[in-house]
């Protein structure tokens, strides 16, 4: 599990570089992605959640964390949100969907395709639910070293 968390950290930092996030935000982006992957792993391995349910919960946590870190680091939340959900994208399901389509196994292709759609829908719902939280709740988190 530690190797997966380190891979999520490194992958998210790599995606932050590819996404052209500000250099001073790389570590914060990486930690956001690693926390999301940790939540996903804990829920799927120890709480017996399905992949879409665990993805929803992990995305919800990542979106909240992105808003908090954005407030603290004085940077748009999108920087942390887009890079933070990177480990949760259902790349494996999309790959297997294409593979089974090419192999002419429509049952397995439909299974993995529907699973990928459920995971993507869970990602969207997690983000939408957090975006509906009023901004004033996140005003508690602010950086104190600003000069006025």
Q: Where are the domains of the chain?
A: 2-138
Question: pLDDT at position 44, please?
Answer: 95
Sign of CA dihedral 85, 83, 65, 40: positive
Segment 82-108, tens digit of pLDDT: 999 999 999 999 999 999 999 999 999
Q: Kindly state the average pLDDT of the residues 109-126.
A: 97
Look at residue 145 and tell me whether its pLDDT is greater than 60: no
The pTM of this model reads 0.88
Q: Which residue has the higher pLDDT, 121 or 138?
A: 121
Segment 56-68, tens digit of pLDDT: 999 999 999 999 9
Sign of CA dihedral 14, 125, 72, 41: negative
Quickly list H helices, the chain.
Answer: 2-18, 26-45, 51-73, 77-84, 91-102, 106-131, 135-138
The C-alpha atoms of residue 24 and residue 83 are separated, in whole angstroms, by 14
């Amino acid at each position: 599990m530690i190797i997966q968390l380190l891979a999520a950290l490194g992958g998210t930092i790599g995606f932050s570089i590819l996404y052209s996030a500000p250099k001073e935000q790389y570590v914060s982006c990486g930690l956001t992605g690693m926390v999301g992957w940790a939540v996903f792993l804990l829920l799927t391995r120890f709480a017996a959640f399905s992949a879409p349910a665990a993805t929803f919960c992990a995305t919800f946590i990542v979106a909240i964390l992105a808003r908090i870190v954005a407030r603290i680091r004085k940077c748009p939340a999108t920087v942390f949100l887009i890079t933070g959900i990177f480990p949760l994208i259902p790349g494996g399901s999309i790959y297997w969907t294409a593979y089974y389509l090419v192999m002419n196994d429509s049952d397995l292709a439909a299974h993995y395709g529907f699973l990928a759609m459920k995971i993507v829908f869970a990602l969207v719902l997690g983000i939408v639910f957090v975006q509906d939280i009023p901004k004033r709740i996140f005003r508690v988190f602010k950086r104190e070293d600003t000069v006025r």
